[in-house]
Structure 1
Amino acid sequence: MVNSKAKQGHSLLPVLLTVQFLVSLDMSVVNIALPDMGDDLGFAADSLLWVVNAYALAFGGLLMLGGRLADLAGRRRTLVGGFVVFGAASLAGGLALTPGQLIAARAVQGAGAAALAPVALALITVTYAAGPARSRALGLWGVSGALGGAVGIMAGGLLTDWVGWRSVMLINVPVVIGALLAARRGVPADRRAGPAPRLDVTGALLVTAGMAALVLGLVRTETYGWASGTTLGTLALALVLLAAFVAVEARKREPLLRLGLLGTAHRPVLSANVFALLMSSGQFAAFYFTSLHLQQVLGYGPTAAGAAFLPFCAGVVAGSTVATRTVGRLGERTLLVAGGLLGAAGFGWFALTVEAGGTFLGSILGPSLVASVGIGMCFVPLGTAATSGVAPEETGMASGLLNSSRQLGGSLGLAVLVTVAASATGAGRDRAALAEGHAAAFAVSAGLLVAAALATAVLHGRRTSATKPPRPAETYSSEESSKNLGDDVETGVSRSTQG
Structure 2
Amino acid sequence: MTNRDTEIEHTEAPSIDRLHGHKEPPTTEPADGTRQHRDRRLSIVLGVIVTCQLMVAVDSNVVNIALPEIQSGLGLSALALAWVFSGYSLAYGGLLLLGGRASDILGRRRMFVWGLSLVVLASILGGIAPNDWLLIGARALQGVGFAFAGPAALSMIAATFDEGPERTRALGVFSMVTGFGITLGLILGGVLTTLSWRLVFFINVPIGVLTIILALRYLDETERHSGKFDLLGAILSTVGMVGIVYGLTNGSSGWTEVGTVAPIIVGATLIALFVYVERSADQPIMPLRLLGNPVRAGAYATFVLLMASMAGTYILLSLYIQEALGFSPLVAGLAFLPMAAVQFGVAKFAPKVIARFGRKPVLIVGVALMMAEAIWLTTTNASTNYLTGVLGPFILLGAGLSLAFVTLNMTVLGGLEPRDMGAASGLLQATQQIGLSLGVAILTTLNQSARTDRERVSSSASDALAHGLAHAVIAAVIFTALALLIGLFAIKIPKQQTEA
TM-score by length of 1: 0.90
CA pair 141-466 structure 1, distance change in 2 beyond 3 A:
same
Cα displacement (A) at 1:271 = 1.6
Cα displacement (A) at 1:332 = 2.0
1:15 to 48, 58, 61: 48
- Give the letter aligned to residue 207 of structure 1: S
2:489 to 451, 458, 479: 458
- Give the letter aligned to residue 343 of structure 2: V
**Are positions 1:291 and 2:318 aligned together?**
yes
Following the alignment from structure 1 to structure 2, what is the Cα–Cα distance between the partners of residues 35 and 462? Answer: 47
Would the aligned equivalents of 2:229 and 2:283 in 1 still touch at CA under 8 Å? yes
Moved more, 3-12 or 290-299: 3-12
Would the aligned equivalents of 1:54 and 1:103 in 2 still touch at CA under 8 Å? yes
Following the alignment from structure 2 to structure 1, what is the Cα–Cα distance between the partners of residues 359 and 209? Answer: 36
1:206 to 236, 253, 265: 236
Residue 115 of structure 1 aligns with which residue?
148
Residue 169 of structure 1 aligns with which residue?
201
Alignment of 1:243-392 (within 5 A): 243-263=272-292, 266-352=293-379, 354-392=380-418
Moved more, 48-57 or 357-366: 357-366
- What percentage of residue pairs aligned between the two structures are identical? 35
Residue 496 of structure 1 aligns with which residue?
none
Cα displacement (A) at 1:464 = 5.2
| Deviation sequence 1:95-125 (CA, Å, 0-9, x none) | 1000111011000001111112111111111
- Give the letter aligned to residue 215 of structure 2: A
Following the alignment from structure 1 to structure 2, what is the Cα–Cα distance between the partners of residues 321 and 2? Answer: 22
**Are positions 1:433 and 2:459 aligned together?**
no
Would the aligned equivalents of 1:130 and 1:466 in 2 still touch at CA under 8 Å? no
- Give the letter aligned to residue 152 of structure 2: V
Following the alignment from structure 1 to structure 2, what is the Cα–Cα distance between the partners of residues 123 and 115? Answer: 13
Cα displacement (A) at 1:165 = 0.3
Residue 414 of structure 1 aligns with which residue?
440
Following the alignment from structure 2 to structure 1, what is the Cα–Cα distance between the partners of residues 71 and 150? Answer: 29
Following the alignment from structure 1 to structure 2, what is the Cα–Cα distance between the partners of residues 309 and 455? Answer: 29
Following the alignment from structure 1 to structure 2, what is the Cα–Cα distance between the partners of residues 361 and 136? Answer: 32
Could you say what secondary structure the match of 1:255 adopts?
A: coil
| Deviation sequence 1:435-489 (CA, Å, 0-9, x none) | 1011112232122112112112222124353499xxxxxxxxxxxxxxxxx9xxx
Following the alignment from structure 1 to structure 2, what is the Cα–Cα distance between the partners of residues 189 and 250? Answer: 30
Residue 105 of structure 1 aligns with which residue?
138
Structure with the higher fraction of residues in helix conformation: 2
Residue 69 of structure 2 aligns with which residue?
36
Following the alignment from structure 2 to structure 1, what is the Cα–Cα distance between the partners of residues 490 and 49? Answer: 30
- Give the letter aligned to residue 292 of structure 1: L
| Deviation sequence 1:149-182 (CA, Å, 0-9, x none) | 1110111011101x21000010010000110111
**Are positions 1:395 and 2:421 aligned together?**
yes
Would the aligned equivalents of 1:66 and 1:400 in 2 still touch at CA under 8 Å? yes
Could you say what secondary structure the match of 1:344 adopts?
A: helix
Would the aligned equivalents of 2:359 and 2:498 in 1 still touch at CA under 8 Å? no
- State the aligned residue count: 462
Moved more, 72-81 or 452-461: 452-461
Gaps of 5+ in 1: 469-485, 487-499
Following the alignment from structure 2 to structure 1, what is the Cα–Cα distance between the partners of residues 294 and 424? Answer: 13
1:218 to 245, 248, 252: 248
Cα displacement (A) at 1:254 = 1.3
Q: Which segments of structure 1 move beyond 6 Å, counting only runs of 4 or more? A: none
- Give the letter aligned to residue 329 of structure 1: R
**Are positions 1:188 and 2:229 aligned together?**
no
Moved more, 250-259 or 316-325: 316-325
Cα displacement (A) at 1:3 = 4.7
Following the alignment from structure 2 to structure 1, what is the Cα–Cα distance between the partners of residues 107 and 37? Answer: 22
Following the alignment from structure 1 to structure 2, what is the Cα–Cα distance between the partners of residues 187 and 467? Answer: 30
Following the alignment from structure 2 to structure 1, what is the Cα–Cα distance between the partners of residues 123 and 230? Answer: 29
- Give the letter aligned to residue 339 of structure 2: F
Gaps of 5+ in 2: 1-33, 456-460
Following the alignment from structure 1 to structure 2, what is the Cα–Cα distance between the partners of residues 326 and 267? Answer: 24
1:231 to 241, 256, 260: 260
**Are positions 1:448 and 2:475 aligned together?**
no
Would the aligned equivalents of 1:322 and 1:377 in 2 still touch at CA under 8 Å? no
Residue 482 of structure 1 aligns with which residue?
none
**Are positions 1:152 and 2:185 aligned together?**
yes
Following the alignment from structure 2 to structure 1, what is the Cα–Cα distance between the partners of residues 216 and 114? Answer: 12
Cα displacement (A) at 1:338 = 1.1
Following the alignment from structure 2 to structure 1, what is the Cα–Cα distance between the partners of residues 382 and 49? Answer: 41
Could you say what secondary structure the match of 1:363 adopts?
A: helix
Following the alignment from structure 1 to structure 2, what is the Cα–Cα distance between the partners of residues 11 and 464? Answer: 33
Would the aligned equivalents of 1:344 and 1:445 in 2 still touch at CA under 8 Å? yes
CA RMSD of aligned residues (A): 1.7
Following the alignment from structure 2 to structure 1, what is the Cα–Cα distance between the partners of residues 495 and 420? Answer: 19
Cα displacement (A) at 1:389 = 2.1
1:87 to 98, 112, 120: 120
Could you say what secondary structure the match of 1:31 adopts?
A: helix
